[in-house]
Amino acid sequence: MATLIDMPKLSDTMTVGTLVKWLKNEGDAVTNGDMIAEVETDKATMEVECFEEGVLIKQYAEAGAEVPVGGAIAAIGEAGESAPEVAATATAPSASEEPEAASTPAPVTPEPAAAPEITAAEPPPAPAPAVSGTRIKASPVARKMAAQKGIDLSAVQGSGPGGRIVKEDILQAGESPSKVSSTPTATLEALTVPVSNMRKSIAKALVASKTQAPHFYLQIEVDGAPLAKFRAALNKKYADLPVEQGGNKFTVNDLTLKAAAEAVRQVPAINRSWGESIVQHGTVQLAFGVAIDDGLVTPVIPSAETKSLHQISAEAKALIKKARNKKLAPNEMSGSTLTVTNLGMFGISDFYGIINPSNAAILSVGATIKRPVVDEHNQIVIGHTMKVGLSGDHRVIDGAVGAQYLQALKNILENPALMLV
């Protein structure tokens, strides 16, 4: 007897999912653990796992259709078996959308585990330009750099998975004219972009946060030189070692995440949530922002205050890789108590984030900028300044708590050996 596969509830707030594409076609054999479809939820695009064995005898929804949670999307049975009739629940895609046709995808070469700014190595044959229909596949960092350098993305050959344009492609394009074709720069055109479930969810959550939580803003300047020296020393020691011997390349993001978790030990009141009562959490569920093509996700490092710098770095890299490959599980994006967002890689010196719902604060880390400063001898020297902003929920914490937390964070960042204690 055929078994129905329903639209799963892939996040705690999900009520409907958009079937992005089928990974198995009707008539394909499936086994327990096979991924049969990609579904866009309100938080991310995820793969639907099959827990049955047999043949996919019926697809009840076409690519691009919206299906409510619990609605049938497929039937698994024996070859030649008739699929059961079900009530129609799928909403057909709009005419303005161009859903990807159902097909069995070619194997995807995974990105190597690395820091957020590390990209896949360029394969021997030159890949085709990263254009899919009218959409150019490029990482957020690559898009920003291309805009700054005036580089036409449609003329750049991507070296990332599936021809995706990554940071190194833009760097090479800027250095070598041969990386960019001689075709004229594309003209601007008006576009109507469908609003994805993720974008709807982001809009709903952040509008609610901004309008319901009375934000206040603080900022502190950090001497970034000690942190840069500390990072350089760590990478000199560990970057070339095998992973099993602790080998790793540490990023500024790794260090700020560790420092943010450590500072909570000194000012635990920052780790609170608003509700029927104010809850001060006993662990730091540390979220951090990861930009992906479809929007923004905030994976969570659980119990971050208990973990070493090596552990935080490894977990952050693994979560970033999962986010960019759309493999994050719902439990890896929920339950945060504090959030860190970093735009330093874009050259942004200071900004303020919108508080993640249920958090009391969000940290905003800017780039380290060289500028004149007055040293302890009252001499003007070239300093390395990093600005860290804090947006706080005034219902939960007051300015003094935010200020104390930023002072504790500054002390750790300027004395980074404290992260190893």
**Rounded distance, CA 82 to CA 1, Å?**
9
Catalytic residues: 394
Closest CA relative to residue 301, chosen from 264, 275, 274 = 264
Residue type, 194: P
Strands 361-374, 338-342: pairing is: parallel
Record the tokens describing residue 382, joined without a space: 């070239």
**Rounded distance, CA 183 to CA 400, Å?**
57
Sign of torsion, CA 303 307 311 317? positive
Strands 72-77, 338-342: pairing is: unpaired
CA distances from 256 to 148, 323, 411 (A): 26, 20, 12
Record the tokens describing residue 145, joined without a space: 């750099």
Q: Which residues contact 117 (CB under 8 A, 6 or more apart)?
A: 141, 167, 251, 345
Q: DSSP code of 420?
A: G
Q: Which residues contact 366 (CB under 8 A, 6 or more apart)?
A: 343, 344, 348, 349, 350, 351, 386, 387, 388, 389
Q: What is the edge-to-edge ordering of all strands in the sheet holding 286-288?
A: 215-223, 380-393, 361-374, 338-342, 286-288, 300-301
DSSP per-residue letters across 254-287: HHHHHHHHHHHHH-GGGSEE-SSS-EE-SS--EE
For 49, the enclosing helix (H) or strand (E) is strand 45-49
